[in-house]
Amino acid sequence: MLKMAGVSYSYHKNRPIITNLDLEIEAGKITTIAGPNGCGKSTVLKLASRMLIPQTGEIILGDKNLSHMSKRAVAREVSILFQNSQIPDMTALRAVMAARYPYQSSFSGYTKEEKEISECAMELTGCKEFGRKNMAELSGGERQRVFLAMIYNQDTPLILLDEPTTYLDIHVTYEIMELIGSLNKNQKKTIVMVLHDLNLALQYSDSLILMNHGSIFNIHTPGDNCILESIKALFGVEVRNFRDNHNSFYCFAQSADNDIGI
Amino acid sequence: MFTFLKFSVASDKKSLLFLMISFASLIVSALLGLFSGASFIPPSVIFEVLFSGRTQDPVYRIFMTVRLPRVLGALLAGSGLAVSGSILQTVFHNPLASPNIIGVNAGAGLFVLISSILFPGARDLVPFAAFLGALLASVLILLIAMTNRMSQLLLILSGFVINSLFTAGMNAVLILFPDAYVGAGNFLAGGLSGVTTDRLIYPTFGILGGILLSFCCAKELNHLGLGAERASALGMNVPVIRCLAIAIAAALAGGAVSFAGLIGFVGLIIPHGVKLLIGTDNRIVLPGSALLGGMFVILCDLFARTIFIPYELPVGILLSVVGCPFFLYLILKNRNRRDMEC
């Protein structure tokens, strides 16, 4: 689906954030990228959505080079949910309808179908009842639902989510994760997300990419036996695994042999 | 002009009703402005004189040389500045961005004064100089806003700095060349007393064209309201739309300043008032601002020339006197809503 080969990117000279990254995202899967702060996870998503153009290497989406595609063409293939960005100054319904932009010709209005599709997206994500409210009046969880409705409405095969559950309470977190799971299962979308919560990452992903210093540290499927060793090595924490009948739970604690030195 | 309204998303009827009421009140205030003034002239007398073609009749001369240009000027200045303010608020994602606060008006003013020194006779140049000054100020702000991702407060502070810079420039010009601009006091406060029809020709094209263009960009402006990053991820060419919007805002503000001087506050309170009444959809906010901005300045100008007969206030002073309490009222009434947050 998406392939990065030898990709490098730096915001400032001499301080590369991504160095010589090779990565392949499988279609129809949920892939999670995790890693320490500042390791370049969000940058990978921005590169994959053509928000940033790689300075070396190339990114292939399907069979096309991403840098050669127009912005609008990319927006029909890839959608992205940003981490804590500006709150739109508009009603939820209008924000959701705006996500149809890549399919519209310039300066045209909305058709009746588009309005119906948008309302359907809001229904699926459970934000129909506050469609008329301004985005700024919504709670964090409600707002995130609206952003997900925008993703539904943009209707792209590849979906990128940058920390979709940050700042949400645990109940809403699981609701959002279930919505993301259903996007993958029912709508057959390929999902790549950045998560800090490793429990969620291990529960919901088909593949876990661990990054460090702008390159791949290790790639695992959650069933791997050595996955906990990788996490331990990368983050410098102890990991314990508990099981009940259905699920695995993980517990993280400060590593004994890695004094953080407070 | 109204085709873009057909697709308005929420509360179609409410928005349409709002625009119709605004339009009606604009017409009523324009008629009031034409008929009343230092002396009230009944409509019947005006029509009789106009149709009989008695060009030497004092009523005819009052109407054609004083009333008509003033009402037209007030309409153009009010609509232009209000739409300019709406655009700037969206482009900068900032509720305080308005042409008089971030230095767009001051930039236009400085260039008007400079052009009147360099080319004292060339009055036709004034609107173009004003446009250039307004454009310079708005591009400066845009560059500042784009070079680093700054907070809304910092953006407004930079606007204040640019505003003070251009204002200092204007004061310097007026001190060094006291005769540079006849009626400079009126120009600085913002007034319509010297407006004549021939001075309105170029600004009319600029302002009407700008308003129509802004209506065409209303949807794009709405998408900018999602935040630049999100709009860009939806495939919009954000830099192009931003620059286009800034150029339109500069044409509107420059056009208004070129004949009305530094009229303040319209560009701030009218967009806010419209947004509080009808929401933030630019397809409604832009025409609403044009209608109500024109109405507001026409009414204020009417009061400015009637309350202290035979003396006349520059309308800019009255706008501030009316505008400040109204604005405070809006802030206090809606302090729970985030519209006013900075």
Distance from CA of B15 to the nearest CA of A (A): 14
Structure tokens at B277: 């009444």
With beta carbons under 8 A apart, name residues in chain A contacting B279: 90-91, 134
Say whether residue A73 is in contact with chain B using an 8 A CB cutoff: yes
Task: Give the contacts of B148 (CB within 8 A, at least 6 positions apart).
Answer: none
Q: Looking at chain A, which residue has its C-alpha nearest residue B91?
A: A89
Could you read off the pLDDT of B126-183 as tens digits, one per residue? Answer: 888 889 999 999 888 888 877 766 666 777 888 889 999 999 999 898 888 877 766 6
Q: Looking at the domain assignment, is residue A251 inside a domain?
A: no
Measuring CA to CA, how many Å separate A229 from each of A218, B5, B215? 11, 60, 59
Structure tokens at B149: 């991702």
Say whether residue B13 is in contact with chain A using an 8 A CB cutoff: no
pLDDT of residue B5: 42
Cβ–Cβ under 8 Å, residues B96 and B342: yes
Distance from CA of B248 to the nearest CA of A (A): 16
C-alpha R_g of chain B = 20
Say whether residue B338 is in contact with chain A using an 8 A CB cutoff: yes
Greater confidence (A239 vs A208) lies with A208
Q: Between chains, do B232 and A51 touch, taking CB under 8 Å as contact?
A: yes
Q: What's the total number of domains in chain B?
A: 1
Query: Are both A57 and A116 inside the same structural domain?
Result: no
Q: Looking at the domain assignment, is residue A245 inside a domain?
A: no
Burial of B225 (0-12, 13-18, 19+ CB in 10 A): buried
Q: Give the lowest-confidence range in A169-183, A231-245, B235-249.
A: A231-245
Task: Give the contacts of B10 (CB within 8 A, at least 6 positions apart).
Answer: A91, A93, A94, A131, A132, B279, B281
Domain boundary pick from A119, A154, A189: A154
Say whether residue B229 is in contact with chain A using an 8 A CB cutoff: yes
**pLDDT tier at B340 (50, 70, 90 boundaries)?**
very low
Mean pLDDT confidence for A26-49 = 93
Could you read off the pLDDT of A125-146 as tens digits, one per residue? Answer: 888 888 888 888 898 889 999 9
Q: Between chains, do A74 and B226 touch, taking CB under 8 Å as contact?
A: no
Q: What's the total number of domains in chain A?
A: 2
With beta carbons under 8 A apart, name residues in chain A contacting B219: 107-109
Task: Give the contacts of A244 (CB within 8 A, at least 6 positions apart).
Answer: none
Nearest residue to A183 (alpha-carbon basis) of A199, A216, A160: A160
Q: Looking at the domain assignment, is residue A250 inside a domain?
A: no
Say whether residue A71 is in contact with chain B using an 8 A CB cutoff: yes
Is pLDDT of A51 > 50? yes
Query: Are both A37 and A101 inside the same structural domain?
Result: no
Query: Are both A27 and A133 inside the same structural domain?
Result: no
Q: Looking at chain A, which residue has its C-alpha nearest residue B238?
A: A71
Q: Looking at the domain assignment, is residue A145 inside a domain?
A: yes
Q: How far apart are alpha carbons B170 and B109 in whole angstroms?
A: 7
Is pLDDT of B12 > 90? no
Across chain A, what does the average pLDDT equal?
Answer: 88
pLDDT of residue B1: 38
pLDDT of residue B333: 67
Q: Between chains, do B219 and A107 touch, taking CB under 8 Å as contact?
A: yes
Q: Give the lowest-confidence range in A217-231, B41-55, B67-81, B201-215.
A: B41-55
Domain with residue A11: its CATH number is 3.40.50.300
Question: How many Cβ atoms from other residues are within 10 Å of residue B300's Cβ?
Answer: 27
pLDDT of residue B314: 83
Query: Are both A210 and A168 inside the same structural domain?
Result: yes
pLDDT of residue A106: 63
Question: What DSSP letter does each residue of B230-256 carry, written as one string?
Answer: HHHHTT--HHHHHHHHHHHHHHHHHHH
Query: Are both A146 and A163 inside the same structural domain?
Result: no
Q: Looking at chain B, which residue has its C-alpha nearest residue A116?
A: B9
Burial of B334 (0-12, 13-18, 19+ CB in 10 A): middle
Query: Are both A116 and A28 inside the same structural domain?
Result: no
Greater confidence (A247 vs B84) lies with B84
Q: Which domain does B166 fall in, by range?
A: 3-340
Interface predicted TM-score (ipTM) of this complex, two decimals? 0.88
- Tell me: cis bond preceding B58? Omega within 30 of 0 counts: no
pLDDT of residue B338: 47
Domain with residue B170: its CATH number is 1.10.3470.10
Could you read off the pLDDT of B302-330 as tens digits, one per residue? Answer: 988 888 877 888 888 888 888 788 777 76
Those of residues 78-117 in B touching chain A at CB distance below 8 A are 90, 93
Which of B7, B90, B225 comes nearest A110 by C-beta? B7
With beta carbons under 8 A apart, name residues in chain B contacting A70: 235
Q: Looking at the domain assignment, is residue A249 inside a domain?
A: no
Query: Are both A28 and A150 inside the same structural domain?
Result: no
Q: How far apart are alpha carbons B211 and B290 in whole angstroms?
A: 8
pTM of this structure: 0.87
Query: Are both A147 and A162 inside the same structural domain?
Result: no
With beta carbons under 8 A apart, name residues in chain B contacting A49: 233
Is pLDDT of A170 > 50? yes
pLDDT of residue B330: 66
Q: Looking at the domain assignment, is residue A29 inside a domain?
A: yes
With beta carbons under 8 A apart, name residues in chain A contacting B9: 91, 93-94, 97, 110, 115
Query: Are both A61 and A175 inside the same structural domain?
Result: yes
**pLDDT tier at A69 (50, 70, 90 boundaries)?**
very high
Q: Looking at the domain assignment, is residue A259 inside a domain?
A: no
Q: How far apart are alpha carbons A133 and B284 in whole angstroms?
A: 17
Q: Looking at the domain assignment, is residue A243 inside a domain?
A: no
pLDDT of residue B150: 63
Q: Looking at chain A, which residue has its C-alpha nearest residue B10?
A: A132
Across chain B, what does the average pLDDT equal?
Answer: 84
Q: Which domain does A70 fall in, by range?
A: 1-77+156-235
Q: Between chains, do B222 and A90 touch, taking CB under 8 Å as contact?
A: yes
pLDDT of residue A108: 65
Measuring CA to CA, how many Å separate B242 from each of A51, B223, B330? 17, 11, 28
Is pLDDT of A115 > 90? no
Is pLDDT of A227 > 70? yes
Query: Are both A95 and A135 inside the same structural domain?
Result: yes
pLDDT of residue B271: 92
Is pLDDT of A27 > 90? yes
Exposure b/e, B230-256, CB count within 10 A at least 16 = b: bbbbbbbbbeebbebbbbbbbbbbbbb
pLDDT of residue B10: 42
Structure tokens at A215: 């390159």
pLDDT of residue B309: 77
Query: Are both A227 and A161 inside the same structural domain?
Result: yes
